[in-house]
């Protein structure tokens, strides 16, 4: 049984919504960040990245306090408003090619602890502690955890009908996305929606493992304070069919001492190799890998497809690590080895070609994206994907919704 709750969200006033919300600040180049901060005084980037020009010269403690102060300034200036009562929201994101609709709600720390909310990625302790300290110092979170639930015809029909009503937000962004938000505020709707999720036995984290782990750590440290908001964390819940999963491709700086010929010979022990020359080739199905090396693309077909149902060993990202990255290229630590970098699969593979051709990297590997069934199977069995196995959409806009602690 899954538990979701409405919450008293803080959100931008309707006249400023298009100016306030932003992408995650890590998505901005230095030039973009400077431009937004210079020319848009309402951008939430001013809150999450205070003292921008001097951010490297202040302590984390001072930076987090600066975030809290700037957030209060936005509230006092009337940029934000607070709901009068706890509510749910229905949120839709439309891109050029995709449409995502989900429910914004509070999800239970107890469900997370009891594995009703299931995980498939490992976390880094320092990142969990960093974000826990951020939450503690700032007193708010604006980045919900992306959680999936099994497709449900009753919920789908309700969402379809709800979207016929007038949204409280309807705006577009400079990256050509359209956003709409509906408020779910009547007692009848809130109770009905809560009961629908009580009938769902398990939920799965798609994106936001560090955020959920940080919320749990903060709860464990501060639960004695009696703050009910710590018992939950903000989540964006969408049906499994709504999730778009991309791969993360890999680029490597060197061949670990191998010549091209010797490296191809070693690869042939586990893969059938076809030279695609200048064709921008990418994998078409599971157990296929693309490679760009020395001006040519190659198709790699894995020979030893396991007939045994070993979920992790059959994962393409794990196969690449077990057969190529670790034994041949000497990459042990996928998170911290400076010889490897990652390119989201939604970027063109021409990007990999350009980076290798420029000479900083020697070889690139393209993977076939995992699907939701693989992610769920790993989570159900308590298994963890290799780092940077998936790039998942949708991405929530910062500043759209604030969950205060």
Low-confidence residues in the chain, pLDDT < 70: 51-57, 305-309
| CB contact at 8 A, 16 and 78 | no
Strand segments, DSSP code E, in 74-231 are 80-82, 88-94, 99-108, 117-118, 140-141, 145-149, 169-172, 178-184, 203-207
The segment(s) of the chain belonging to CATH 3.90.1530.10 are 4-242+393-404
DSSP code for 167: P
Q: What was the pLDDT predicted at 124?
A: 83
Structure tokens at 217: 């750590």
Give per-residue pLDDT as tens, 234-280.
999 999 999 999 999 999 999 999 999 999 999 999 999 999 999 99
Give per-residue pLDDT as tens, 116-137.
999 998 888 999 999 999 999 9
Q: What was the pLDDT predicted at 308?
A: 55
- In whole angstroms, what is the distance from residue 7 CA to residue 138 CA? 18
* Residue 389 C-alpha from the chain's centroid: 12
Q: What was the pLDDT predicted at 52?
A: 55
Structure tokens at 347: 């970027």
Fold assignment, 246-369? 3.30.1760
Query: Position of tokens 């803080």?
Result: 10
Structure tokens at 322: 């077990």
In the chain the first and final C-alpha atoms are separated, in Å, by: 25
* Residue 140 C-alpha from the chain's centroid: 19
Q: Of 343, 391, 352, whose CA–CA distance to 369 is shortest? A: 391
| Domain covering 4-242+393-404 assigned CATH 3.90.1530.10 in the classification | yes
Q: What was the pLDDT predicted at 294?
A: 96
Q: What was the pLDDT predicted at 59?
A: 83
Q: Of 79, 123, 98, whose CA–CA distance to 395 is shortest? A: 98
The segment(s) of the chain belonging to CATH 3.30.1760 are 246-369
Q: What was the pLDDT predicted at 109?
A: 98
Helix residue ranges, H only, 40-105 = 45-48, 60-76
| CB contact at 8 A, 184 and 88 | yes
250 bridge partner residues: 342, 365
Residue 158's φ and ψ, nearest 5 degrees, are: -65, -45
DSSP code for 95: -
- In whole angstroms, what is the distance from residue 291 CA to residue 293 CA? 6
Q: Of 89, 76, 231, 242, whose CA–CA distance to 152 is shortest? A: 242
Query: Position of tokens 């045994």?
Result: 308
| CB contact at 8 A, 181 and 98 | no
- In whole angstroms, what is the distance from residue 214 CA to residue 127 CA? 8
204 bridge partner residues: 118, 148
300 bridge partner residues: 273, 289
């Amino acid at each position: 049984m899954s538990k979701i709750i409405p919450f008293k969200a803080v959100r931008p006033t309707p006249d400023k919504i298009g100016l306030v919300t932003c992408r995650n600040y890590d998505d901005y180049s230095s030039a973009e960040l400077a431009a937004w901060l210079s020319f848009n005084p309402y951008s939430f980037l001013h809150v999450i990245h205070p003292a921008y020009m001097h951010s490297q010269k202040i302590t984390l403690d001072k930076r987090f306090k600066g975030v809290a102060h700037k957030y209060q300034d936005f509230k006092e200036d009337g940029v934000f408003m607070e709901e009068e009562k706890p509510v749910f929201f229905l949120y839709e994101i439309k891109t050029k090619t995709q449409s995502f609709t989900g429910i914004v709600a509070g999800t239970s720390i107890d469900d997370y602890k009891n594995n009703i909310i299931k995980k498939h990625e490992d976390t880094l302790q320092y990142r969990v502690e960093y974000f826990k300290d951020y939450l503690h110092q700032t007193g708010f979170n604006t980045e919900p955890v992306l959680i999936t639930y099994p497709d449900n015809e009753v919920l789908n029909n309700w969402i379809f009908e709800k979207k016929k009503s007038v949204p409280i937000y309807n705006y577009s962004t400079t990256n050509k996305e359209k956003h709409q938000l509906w408020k779910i505020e009547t007692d009848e709707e809130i109770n009905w929606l809560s009961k629908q999720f009580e009938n769902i036995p398990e939920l799965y984290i798609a994106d936001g493992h560090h955020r959920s782990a940080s919320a749990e750590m903060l709860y464990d440290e501060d639960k004695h304070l009696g703050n009910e908001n710590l018992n939950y964390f903000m989540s964006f819940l969408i049906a499994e069919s709504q999730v778009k999963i991309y791969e993360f491709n890999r680029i490597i700086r060197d061949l670990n001492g191998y010549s091209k010929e010797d490296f191809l010979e070693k690869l042939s022990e586990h893969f059938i190799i076809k030279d695609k020359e200048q064709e921008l080739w990418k994998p078409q199905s599971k157990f296929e890998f693309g490679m760009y090396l020395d001006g040519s693309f190659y198709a790699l077909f894995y020979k030893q497809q396991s007939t045994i149902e070993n979920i992790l060993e059959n994962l393409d990202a794990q196969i690449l690590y077990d057969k190529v990255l670790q034994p041949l290229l000497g990459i042990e630590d996928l998170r911290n080895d400076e010889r490897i970098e990652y390119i989201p699969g939604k970027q063109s593979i021409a990007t990999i070609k350009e980076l290798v051709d420029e000479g900083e990297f020697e070889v690139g590997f393209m993977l076939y994206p995992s699907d939701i069934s693989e992610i769920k199977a790993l989570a159900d069995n308590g298994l963890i994907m290799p780092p940077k196995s998936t790039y998942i959409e949708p991405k929530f806009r910062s500043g759209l919704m604030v969950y205060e602690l």
